[in-house]
């Protein structure tokens, strides 16, 4: 029964050993039977927390733009050993993290043009903080992007003024 439960759980998506152990415990599978099945699944490669952690980090960092701190926290919540989680999170270097933060801010900054700079900064910083970015990196990226957006707005205004002047007889 424990074997069947684990196989069905693994059919949908990869799971960590802890997630499967929790599933078996919730179904009142005796601990010794659960351990035997989980050990065997680990031995044959059906459960591989390190591979799970690497895939999770790659997916969540690229798709959701999460920072290393948030990725580590999510992996710990899924029962991945802290050392395994740290090793997986090492895939994300400082440049990857900065690029992801910049992409997130650029995506949101356009919709904040009507807001004053202080409000836009506060909201963008909050978004990055929720994604696990530290304050220093978040502030630098937000400042950089907002400066570029404002510079682009100045250029747009200059062109619109130029177009209005050229339309005059």
CA angle 60, 132, 50 (to 5 degrees): 45
pLDDT for 27-83, tens place per residue? Answer: 998 999 999 999 999 999 899 999 999 999 988 888 889 999 999 999 999 999 999
Structural domain span for residue 15: 2-47
CB distance 65 to 132 below 8 Å: no
Q: Same structural domain for residues 72 and 103?
A: no
DSSP type of residue 110? G
Domain end point (choices 27, 47, 67): 47
Q: Same structural domain for residues 127 and 77?
A: no
Q: Same structural domain for residues 129 and 152?
A: yes
Q: Same structural domain for residues 137 and 98?
A: yes
Q: Same structural domain for residues 106 and 154?
A: yes
Q: Same structural domain for residues 123 and 137?
A: yes
Comparing 111 with 98, the larger pLDDT belongs to 98
Q: Same structural domain for residues 132 and 85?
A: no
pLDDT for 116 beyond 80: yes
pTM over 0.85: no
Per-residue pLDDT at 84 = 93
Hey, what's the torsion of the CAs at 108, 110, 113, 116, to 10 degrees? 30
Task: Please report, for the domain that includes residue 14, its CATH number.
Answer: 1.10.10
């Amino acid at each position: 029964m424990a074997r069947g439960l684990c196989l069905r759980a693994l059919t949908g998506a990869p799971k960590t050993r802890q997630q499967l152990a929790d599933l078996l415990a919730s179904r009142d599978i005796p601990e010794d039977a659960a351990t035997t099945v989980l050990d065997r699944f680990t031995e044959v490669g059906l459960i591989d927390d390190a591979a799970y952690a690497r895939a999770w980090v790659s997916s969540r960092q690229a798709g959701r733009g999460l920072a290393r701190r948030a990725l580590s926290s999510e992996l710990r919540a899924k029962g991945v050993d802290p050392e395994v989680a740290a090793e997986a999170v090492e895939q994300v270097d400082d440049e990857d993290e900065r690029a992801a933060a910049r992409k997130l801010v650029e995506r949101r900054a356009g919709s904040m043009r009507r807001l004053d700079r202080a409000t836009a900064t506060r909201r963008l910083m909050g978004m990055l903080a929720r994604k696990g970015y530290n304050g220093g990196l978040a502030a630098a990226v937000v400042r950089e992007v907002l400066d570029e957006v404002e510079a682009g707005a100045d250029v747009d205004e200059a062109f619109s003024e130029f177009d209005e002047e050229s339309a005059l007889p």
